[in-house]
Chains A and B, each alone.
Chain A
Amino acid sequence: MNTKVLASLLLLPIIVLAGSMLRLSYMSNFEKVEVAVQGYDPKDFFSGYYMYLRPDWEKTDCTQFADNVCPKDDFNTTYTFYIKREQSEKLTQKVNAGVVKLQFSYSPGFEPIITDLFVDGKSFMEYVNTQK
């Protein structure tokens, strides 16, 4: 086999992966909305631990959406937020206390992309730093 053919076959998956990254990065820059959530914490085989979160539309502020209506159908019934294993216990308590919200990058017609998780009004990294 020609080395050029080999190189192009190897580049194919890299290009597709880079394309996925760019697409998701583009989708993460839409207008931000916050959705209240409920959930629990399982473990994923190759992406690590995550909080399994379900949008709680009754507690969500629908005025942030067009016509003051929550577009429930545009969102999935469950979402995952990846965390470290040692963070799961305290975060589960916060989720149960109803003080956790997911921030999405949202634009009608596109799949909403999670951009952050707010605990007691603090962004996830701020919350993590206060826990240290």
Chain B
Amino acid sequence: MDVMPKPEILDPQGQAVAGALHRLGVAGVRDVRQGKHFELDVDDAVDDETLQRIAGSLLANPVIEDWQVTRT
């Protein structure tokens, strides 16, 4: 599960990373947004709806974050 700050939420951590890249002399990086990545080891019986509930009720705060669930 990837959890990212919503586009409209200021991300000062991402900005600090972007600033550091700029100081390293890396050109062409317009913006950096910092988020979280969770890896869950779940039984096959755990359905998508449950995974969405896990993300929306604990792993992400829907007020400030978006999330994406990917099964691999």
Q: Do A and B share a complex? A: no
Interface residues of A (CB under 8 A from B): none
